[in-house]
Structure 1
Amino acid sequence: MTRRPTVLFVCVHNAGRSQMAAAYLTTLSDGRIDVRSAGSAPAATINPVAVAAMREEGIDLSAEVPTILTTEAVWASDVVITMGCGDSCPFFPGKRYEDWPLEDPAGRGIDAVRVIRDDIRARVELLIAELLLAG
């Protein structure tokens, strides 16, 4: 890729997993990757436990707002990473898709969300290495 790659993270509510992944990718890629996130059935607000877990990492999610998944967002992305949205995530030929089987942080305490957060960070670090090596 000669231009900056674009990654779209998708989960059902766009209130936890996809928001944490997008925040990590934005922060850890230093602007070298364009980042989007969306949900197939967005929640009204970001999960406060996810906000707290990311705050521990020095990342503030408190101003983020869940966003509805659109076909335009998928078309505009080079990589689409799904996190538990199943058949509600659109599939378009020619896009790189990955499904990250992550637990949903909804209704979980901070200790469980930290485990999910750390798993997301490790996956994002690998993704950055792959995308920037391909560029």
Structure 2
Amino acid sequence: MNIADRYAAVRRDLHRAYDDKLSPQVIDEVLDANIARAEERATVKDFLPVTVGRATVEDLADLAADGYGGVLKERPEVLFVSAHNAGRAQLAAAVAKQLAGNNLVIRSVGLNGGKTPAPEVITVLEERGVPLDGLYLEGVNPRTVHLSDVIVLMGVTETPNVPGKRYVHWPIDDPVGASADKIRAIADDVEDRVRDLLVELGVLRAAS
């Protein structure tokens, strides 16, 4: 990875962690200013993305101090894992997005690949009024996931090749191919578990 790619990765990390507290434009401006200063002074540039990233976090914390009690807290991140990312993990991701909003970084992954929710799962989400923009439709790799605060294993025992602080197992049936009533019952179970997790992480919105 060249230095431009490493700066781009730092930028993505900062947006993912802090753009619920500060605008993306402010984050970019502070980062770009730090990059420019560092590039002007440095003779060896190999470690600049790391040092620039740390300096930017410190500067952003100073900017956020007045509105956030002097603390710039990184958003927690949860990764939902199922076999094919078509049912359980997508249900959990969509419900978590609806409940936590922008207070949580949410991703989902299938151990055996896949990023397309099953049509019957989408139907039940629509019945429940869960916005489909909470579905996770991108691939996941260690660089984009980083260190998830919680990795939720749903109906699988193998852990994904991504880092996590804590792993939890939810024994939830696969909704793909099940009857509508069965999927509704699974969705109820998923929502109850998601709510408990979000309360534990301190990100459940009061209005939910």
Q: After the TM superposition, which residues 31-46 of structure 1 pair with which residues of structure 2 at under 5 Å, given as runs?
A: 31-43=102-114, 45-46=116-117
SS at structure 2 position matched to 1:41? coil
Identity %: 37
Structure that is richer in strand per residue: 1
Q: Residues 53-107 of structure 1: CA distance to partner in whole angstroms, max 9, x if unpaired?
A: 1111112438956555533355331111111232253475x61111111001121
- Match 2:98 to one of 27, 52, 57: 27
Q: Runs of 4 or more off by more than 4 Å in structure 1?
A: 62-69
- Unpaired stretches in structure 2, ≥5 consecutive residues: 1-71, 204-208
**SS at structure 2 position matched to 1:29:** helix
Q: Which runs of 5+ in 1 are unaligned?
A: none
TM-score, normalised via structure 2 length: 0.56
For residues 196 and 134 of structure 2, the distance between their equivalents in structure 1, rounded to whole angstroms, comes to 27
Aligned residues: 132
Residue 105 of structure 1 is matched in structure 2 by 175
Going from structure 1 to structure 2, the CA distance change for 1:68 and 1:11 (only over 3 Å counts) comes to farther
- Higher Cα Rg, which structure: 2
Contact 2:85-2:115 at 8 Å conserved across structures: no
Confirm or deny: 8 A CA contact 2:120 2:180 kept in the other structure.
yes
The structure, 1 or 2, with the larger RCO (C-alpha pairs under 8 Å, 6+ apart) is 1
